[in-house]
Amino acid sequence: MVINGKKIADELIQDLKIKFNSLEKKKFFGAMLIGENKESENFLKQKEKIAKELNIDFRIYKISENITTDKLRDEIQKIAYHKTCGGFTVQLPLPSHINTYYVLNAIPSQKDVDVLSERSLGGFYTERLKIFPPAVSVLEEIIKRQNIDLKNLNVAVIGYGFLVGKPISFYLSSKVKSISIFRSKDIDLKQRLKEFDLIVSGVGKAGLFSSKDLKENAIVIDFGYDFDSNGKICGDFLYEKDKEIIYTPTPGGTGQILVAKLFENFYLLNKLFKI
């Protein structure tokens, strides 16, 4: 069974339209793009499209890839700390010479919609933060809509990146029967996957595993984004119709929900801090 991410995202956006209309102050949403990256530009266009639907002033700031880490921090702070800014995001990945964490820490936590600064992450990992990292919110939304009872599930998380694998592993660790974390290069990955009821993957490697590697009625939440040998967008998971699997497709799965959840965080921060 395919989990329709577009339908879920559309419903979330319709709900957000009502919520944003209730805000007293209308702040702009700032997004920074460093260097030339077609994939990053496409992601920003998706965010810009949703912002228009929600009647949000979404401002994209394009910066030369030759900028230094310190100068980039200064530019972020000039924008993000302005009283008319209600949320800020830096489109990742950054050029290799930039210190990513040092840059992300320039975003004030009350405007950190991605939950990526050390202060925001500290709040999340100590369960004090009022919002979740977007990937965690996506997982939570799907679990709720699919009526998935986590407490009896054996879960595999593939990849331990700071955007998907790490925060999701933390979120699930106290809610499931067991959790195992794999790297994409683990030689026993495919052999082990039949042990698990729920698989969450965020590697970004086309066709990393398929339905042949899973047991019947397994659930796959795929955050991976890559291109196959024909240049077609695909995820980590490949469905081969050999058994019944509940899964998010790529495209049309987690990506659209993720964007909606980013704007949900923008709304919650503005409501919480009344900035």
Q: What is the CA radius of gyration of the chain?
A: 19
28-66 confidence digits (pLDDT tens): 999 999 998 888 998 999 999 999 999 999 999 999 999
Closest CA to 95 of 166, 46, 40: 40
66-79 confidence digits (pLDDT tens): 999 999 999 999 99
Domains and CATH numbers, the chain: 23-111 (3.40.50.10860), 134-255 (3.40.50.720)
- Looking at every residue in the chain, the average pLDDT score rounds to 95
Give the separation between CA 11 and CA 242, rounded to whole angstroms: 31
Give the separation between CA 87 and CA 67, rounded to whole angstroms: 22
How confident is the model at residue 197, as a pLDDT? Answer: 98
What percent of the chain lies above the pLDDT cut of 70? 99
207 pLDDT exceeds 60? yes
pLDDT bin (cut points 50, 70, 90) of residue 7 is: very high
How confident is the model at residue 274, as a pLDDT? Answer: 65
How confident is the model at residue 174, as a pLDDT? Answer: 95
146-178 confidence digits (pLDDT tens): 999 999 999 999 999 999 999 999 999 999 999
pLDDT bin (cut points 50, 70, 90) of residue 275 is: low
Burial of 93 (0-12, 13-18, 19+ CB in 10 A): middle
Closest CA to 166 of 121, 214, 103: 121
Two tokens at 1? 């069974």
2 pLDDT exceeds 70? yes
103 pLDDT exceeds 70? yes
Give the separation between CA 275 and CA 269, rounded to whole angstroms: 8
Give the separation between CA 124 and CA 70, rounded to whole angstroms: 26
192 pLDDT exceeds 70? yes
Report the predicted TM-score, pTM, of the whole model to 2 decimal places: 0.95
DSSP code for 254? H
Let me know: does 49 contact 261? Beta carbons within 8 Å.
Answer: no
How confident is the model at residue 216, as a pLDDT? Answer: 96
pLDDT bin (cut points 50, 70, 90) of residue 229 is: confident
24 pLDDT exceeds 90? no
Query: What separation in angstroms does the CA of 268 have from each of 11, 137, 230, 271?
Result: 17, 13, 41, 5
Give the mean pLDDT of 207-234.
94
Beta bridge pairs of residue 29: 58, 87
25 pLDDT exceeds 90? no
Two tokens at 225? 């984004």
Question: What are φ and ψ of residue 63, in 5° steps?
Answer: -120, 145
Burial of 216 (0-12, 13-18, 19+ CB in 10 A): exposed
